[in-house]
């Protein structure tokens, strides 16, 4: 598994600053949202509680509330300004709650969630055991987890352009689908299904892509990034390198999108433990032992 580390405070700050501009740049996020909504066709029950983790400005949350009007729907995001912006998508006919919280420490009771939905948020979390362990904790047995995340080919052109200039880290890295799937299985999630789609968006110039990334809050957040300002000469050299990749008069940018769903495990189902072996957990109330005479 990749050894990259995400600066969670930087991620929170980036998205907080982007709350007002996010929806001007979220065309890809809306497209991927539709893929997730299609996966909900596999869920055949009427959910009581649906949560949207990394809800951002709440577009996806509103669609979930529209689909499940009788359910309690909760938007959860670590960036408070995003949740404030999400108020614009709260309908008085179909309201949903907004809660500030972290994906690895959800403010919810054990086994209380029927559907856990997350659209393009999980790529900003590097501790996959903690992330999927928390998903298992809050999901009801048979509850549905569905999410999307970015794969390692995302922004490969921008990464290559910087690599022609220096060897420093300038672009966020993302985990491979196989690493994500393995972490899901290790956490005990049942029957995971993962798919990969690649999108190529084009721009008039490299700076247009950089403006979009900033507007989305999707700027570099690895702990290993250079902390100082990038010199003008380095920056111009990167732009020139990116220009050599122009196709049909446009600048390409690849986005590798992983979509996945899985199911909450039954009580007592085993999961992999660190260092090998398996662990099963269940309520102490279910323990039945023999009494010594």
CA 158 to CA 163: how far, in whole Å?
9
Locate tokens 């993962």: which residue? 194
Please name each of the domains of the chain with its CATH number. 8-152+173-197+256-268 (3.40.50.150)
pLDDT of residue 221: 79
CA 115 to CA 73: how far, in whole Å?
9
Burial classification of residue 161, based on how many CB atoms lie within 10 Å of its CB (0-12 exposed, 13-18 middle, 19 or more buried)? buried
Say if strands 270-272 and 278-280 run parallel, antiparallel, or are unpaired: antiparallel
Burial classification of residue 87, based on how many CB atoms lie within 10 Å of its CB (0-12 exposed, 13-18 middle, 19 or more buried)? exposed
Mean pLDDT computed over every residue of the chain: 90
In 3D, which of 120, 159, 77, 107 has the Cα closest to residue 258? Answer: 120
pLDDT of residue 91: 87
With 0.75 as the threshold, say if the pTM is over it.
yes
pLDDT of residue 92: 85
pLDDT of residue 173: 87
Contacts with 95 (C-beta within 8 Å, 6 or more apart), sequence order: 65
Question: pLDDT truncated to tens, each residue of the chain (293 aa)?
Answer: 445 688 899 999 999 999 999 999 999 999 999 999 999 999 999 999 999 999 999 999 999 999 999 999 999 999 999 999 999 999 888 899 999 999 999 999 999 999 999 999 999 999 999 999 999 999 999 999 999 999 999 999 999 999 999 888 889 889 899 999 999 999 999 999 999 999 999 999 999 999 999 999 998 878 766 555 566 888 999 999 999 999 999 999 999 999 999 999 998 665 554 555 555 455 545 544 433 33
pLDDT of residue 269: 66
CA 59 to CA 81: how far, in whole Å?
15
CA 9 to CA 143: how far, in whole Å?
30
């Amino acid at each position: 598994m990749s050894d990259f580390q995400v600066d969670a405070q930087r991620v929170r700050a980036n998205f907080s600053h982007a709350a007002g501009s996010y929806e001007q740049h979220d065309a890809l996020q809306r497209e991927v949202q539709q893929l997730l909504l299609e996966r909900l066709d596999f869920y055949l029950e009427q959910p009581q509680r649906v949560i949207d983790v990394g809800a951002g400005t709440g577009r996806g949350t509103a669609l979930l509330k529209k689909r499940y009007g009788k359910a309690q729907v909760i938007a959860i995001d670590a960036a408070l300004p995003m949740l404030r912006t999400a108020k614009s998508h709260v309908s008085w006919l179909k309201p949903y709650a907004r809660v500030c919280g972290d994906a690895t420490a959800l403010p919810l009771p054990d086994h209380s969630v029927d559907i856990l939905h997350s659209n393009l948020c999980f790529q900003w979390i590097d501790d996959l055991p903690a992330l999927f362990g928390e998903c298992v904790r809050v999901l009801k047995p048979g509850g549905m987890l569905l999410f999307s995340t970015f794969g390692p080919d995302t922004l490969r052109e921008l990464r290559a352009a910087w690599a022609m200039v220096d060897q420093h880290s300038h672009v966020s890295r993302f985990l491979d689908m196989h690493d994500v799937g393995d972490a899901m299985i290790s956490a005990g999630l049942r029957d995971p299904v993962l798919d990969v789609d690649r999108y190529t968006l084009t721009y008039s110039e490299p700076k247009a892509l950089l403006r979009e990334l900033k507007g989305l809050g999707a700027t570099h957040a690895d702990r290993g990034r250079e902390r100082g300002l990038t010199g003008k000469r380095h920056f111009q050299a990167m732009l020139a390198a990116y220009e050599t990749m122009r196709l049909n008069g446009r600048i390409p940018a690849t986005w590798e999108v992983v979509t996945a769903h899985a199911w909450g495990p039954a009580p007592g189902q085993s999961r992999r433990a660190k260092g090998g072996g398996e662990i099963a957990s269940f309520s102490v109330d279910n323990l039945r032992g023999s009494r010594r005479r």
